[in-house]
Structure 1
Amino acid sequence: MARAAQAKATEPDSTPVPQRLLATATRLFAEQGYDRTSVQEIVEAAGVTKGALYHYFGSKEDLLHEVYARVLRVQQERLDAVAGGDDPVEKRLRDAAADVVVTTIDHLDDASIFFRSMHHLSPEKNKQVRAERRRYHERFRALIEEGQKTGVFSTATPADLVVDYHFGSVHHLSTWYRPDGPLTPEELADHLADLLLRALRP
């Protein structure tokens, strides 16, 4: 039994190299900080060569960008599915507001790393990230505007301000949310979604 376990432990990692590099970089960035983590540390911990890293990502900066981009892609796909559904606009907005909370908590290390380290990105990469986030926020805002135009939501507060209000809470989750706290991700998501809906009720 012990020999079998030892043999398994020494087997090469079958995880595809890009995913292995990304997982390793995420762990090291979270533990040490982006600026204090070297490319050499990443490739050694991932068990690959520098050539492999540069083949898949080009640079350490590209790894940092991908840490956040992969989360945003998941959130964008889920928002597009919810927003394009047939449910009443109030339910679609509530589902979208709750989902972004849960998915952010599910990837809390990624969000924490990114917001702590995004200033290390080049102006070009920073612009790219902002454009990706803007697309998400615009789709979310469109739900609010749809409800305002049809009289379901109040027009007293501009849709842009409502979006900033909700995402301000979401973007700060990594600074205070704890998995061992009194609320599950779903319970917290319900509370924040309810706050958003209350702010919009006529």
Structure 2
Amino acid sequence: MKDKITEHSIRLFEKKGFKETSIQDIVDSMGVTKGTFYYYFSSKEELLMDIHLGYIDNLLEKQRHIVETNSSYKEKLFETVFLLISNIKVQGSAAKIFFREMKNLNEKRLALIVPKRNEFRFTIENLLKEGIEKGEFRANLNISIITFGILGAANWSYQWFNPNGTLTDREVAEVFVEMILEGIQSV
């Protein structure tokens, strides 16, 4: 039932927004009572926190698997970008909630999310540093800015990427990584 409440809430938060969605809206959409909601969550903000943790923890686990492979750093970079874009198919609504509704978490709850977001970012930075050390990437890169650029491009795709559109998630990731590695300048 907890998962069902979360699923219904994600859909409602995506459609109406966190603040505009009441607990009554959530339970009405499921045909249950508020008591059912409060059995699993003490508040709507706790539910939002649960959505955030589920989203970022899932990404971190998958990112760890990517980094632990014996693949090249270019392949690891591709798999990381692909992870972020392909995740839209599975967790597109949760991604929207994660990025759009973070402002509705209090400082105590943000203090649990921000380090996890930073961990994801620092892992990309380390991947780039190690790729530089192995000669796969240019030595003069501003790793921090490149990382933010990668995250900005990939994370924003939840706004426009249509998994049922003309390009697959893999093809979009390939375009992004080609742009990151090769640039757009004519040689």
TM-score norm. by structure 1 comes to 0.82
The yes-or-no answer on 1:126 pairing with 2:120 is no
The yes-or-no answer on 1:19 pairing with 2:9 is no
The Cα offsets for residues 61-120 of structure 1, whole Å up to 9 and x where unpaired, read as 122222232222221111101101112222222222222221134322112123222211
Contact 2:51 2:94 in 1 (8 A): yes
- In structure 2, the partner of 1:137 is 121
1:168-179 equivalent positions in 2, closer than 5 A:
168-179=152-163
1:1-202 equivalent positions in 2, closer than 5 A:
17-198=1-182
Contact 2:125 2:144 in 1 (8 A): yes
Q: Distance in 1 between matches of 2:10 and 2:62?
A: 23
Q: Distance in 1 between matches of 2:139 and 2:179?
A: 16
State the number of aligned residues: 183
- In structure 2, the partner of 1:5 is none
Contact 2:81 2:154 in 1 (8 A): no
Q: Offset at 1:59? A: 1.3
Matched residue type, 1:88: S
Matched residue type, 2:104: H
TM-score norm. by structure 2 comes to 0.88
Using the aligned pairs only, state the percent identity.
Answer: 25
Comparing 133-142 with 171-180, greater Cα deviation is found at 171-180
Q: Offset at 1:23? A: 0.5
Contact 2:67 2:76 in 1 (8 A): yes
Q: Distance in 2 between matches of 1:194 and 1:100?
A: 16
Contact 1:145 1:159 in 2 (8 A): yes
Contact 1:43 1:53 in 2 (8 A): yes
Larger radius of gyration: 1
Q: 1:177 to 1:94 in 2, by over 3 A?
A: closer
Q: Distance in 1 between matches of 2:139 and 2:38?
A: 50
Matched residue type, 2:153: S
What SS is found at the alignment partner of 1:78?
helix
What SS is found at the alignment partner of 1:181?
coil
Q: Distance in 1 between matches of 2:112 and 2:27?
A: 26
Contact 1:104 1:170 in 2 (8 A): no
Q: Distance in 2 between matches of 1:108 and 1:158?
A: 30
The Cα offsets for residues 33-71 of structure 1, whole Å up to 9 and x where unpaired, read as 111111122123234433332332321112222223222
Gaps of 5+ in 1: 1-16
